[in-house]
Amino acid sequence: MYPMKHIDNIPSTPGKFKMEKPPYNRLRIHISLAKLTFWSFVFLGLIFVFFYRSPAASSSSPVSSDLSRRSLRTNSYGGPAWEKRIKASAKVRSRNGISVLVTGAAGFVGTHVSVALKRRGDGVLGLDNFNDYYDPSLKRARQALLERTGVYVVEGDINDATLLKKLFDIVQFSHVMHLAAQAGVRYAMENPGSYVHSNIAGLVNLLEICKSVNPQPAIVWASSSSVYGLNSKVPFSEKDRTDQPASLYAATKKAGEEIAHTYNHIYGLSLTGLRFFTVYGPWGRPDMAYFFFTRDILKGKSIPIFEAANHGTVARDFTYIDDIVKGCLAALDTAEKSTGSGGKKKGPAQLRVFNLGNTSPVPVSDLVSILERLLKVKAKRLVMKLPRNGDVQFTHANISSAHKELGYKPTTDLQTGLKKFVRWYINYYGNGKKSVQ
């Protein structure tokens, strides 16, 4: 395994030993024993290095570096001070408050949901691995915002079962808001493994922990409007077919919905899936079109305006972050308790899925026109055919079910929402002068 050098006491070419010179032989024996002892220590050292350092070394391999975006390795945790911060953050401060573990807390939606929960008196603990899918400094800035609000974010991975179990040992969470995921449609063509690692393996690991703890928490988690895929019936309803995903991202979210059904059926976990429709707003994701359009318009760069076949319009059901947050909190508040105990189902448990959209699709070209007016800069438009990379021509949410069951009613139109986003963007990035990736 490792090359081992040692001194052989028997010469490779036998010579003549002169018995009349014993001091010389004793000297050779002493030297050989010293060298043998030295190389034995070297060999033992190599064994130590191999067994105790190889996991860390392997993390730098090409395969592991891909998964490092959702790494199993967790920063150091534990100790009285660490547990004290967790308990303080998760402490319920309102009479009818809930205690929520928010995964992906330093993400776009996670940050806004965590702040809203904390401000109304709920106990909130965040979990995020701060991967580098996009600029981690933005996530750190969100973390600082959460810290100021009183939300502690544990740095760790949802695939780390030991860490998750430890968090549930410290806090008896009544709810989990599962928002951690590998996002983005196009990135799946570059790093497909990260989607399986986060959106499927990570979800299963979380559900395994949740079904084993007692009492089991109610779980609300982020699915996606992408599950509707190539469905041409509009608006999209929760009862429509979702078996034609147009991207690997969509396929993993669809798989997540089936996995949720399984854990609900076998273990009695209360599960609510939320299909988000193109969420935008302050502290948003740099990989979203409205975000990088703003950046590139300010920098004088060309922006791609996609059109479908036969010059068809590409449109999105843009949903402002505040409306999404209201839907998330309503889903938590109406979630029924899980029915399992000790990993065994005691009775039927709640299983739901809701669209959270704005119900008014807007052509992407109109989005650009609004940004031009707000930024007072003319965009350099580059019209291109919609690539076959997982993007779909349009999204349009039917929210009647969410309205009936959650009282969900979006109130922010695109013009108003983008105005708030642009104000934040210029304040944060300095009118485009501060670099953003």
> Which of helix, strand or coil describes residue 154?
strand
What is d(CA 225, CA 357) in angstroms, rounded to the nearest whole number?
A: 9
| 134 a catalytic residue | no
Look at 395 and 218; give whichever has higher pLDDT: 218
292-229-392 Cα angle (round to 5): 40
pLDDT digits (tens, 9 = 90+) for 45-88: 443 433 333 333 333 333 333 443 444 444 567 899 999 999 99
Would residue 208 count as lying in a domain? Answer: yes
Amino acid identity of residue 430, one-letter, is: G
Catalytically annotated residue among 187, 249, 263, 280: 249
Q: Is residue 15 part of a domain?
A: no
What the block records as the tokens of 36 is: 């043998």
173 is a domain residue: no
pLDDT beyond 90 at 98: yes
Does residue 403 or residue 66 have the better pLDDT?
A: 403
| 322 lies in some domain | yes
166 or 25, greater pLDDT: 166
Q: Is residue 27 part of a domain?
A: no
Instruction: Please name which of 181, 193, 262, 165 lies closest in space to residue 223, comparing C-alpha atoms.
Output: 181
Domain around 198: 180-278+318-357+393-410
Whether 38 maps to a domain, the answer reads no
Task: Indicate the number of domains in the chain.
Answer: 1
Rounded average pLDDT over 284-311: 87
Residue 181: the pLDDT is: 97
Regarding pTM above 0.85, the answer is no
pLDDT one-digit tens code per residue, 139-186: 999 999 999 999 999 999 999 999 999 999 999 999 999 999 999 888
Asked whether residue 90 is assigned to any structural domain, the reply reads no
pLDDT at 369 over 90: yes
Q: Which residue has the higher pLDDT, 52 or 349?
A: 349
CATH code of the domain containing 344 = 3.40.50.720
Q: How long, in residues, is the chain?
A: 437
Per the structure block, which two tokens stand in for 83? Answer: 């547990």
In a domain, 239, yes or no: yes
Element holding 304 (H helix, E strand): strand 302-307
Q: How many CB atoms lie within 10 A of CB 254?
A: 21
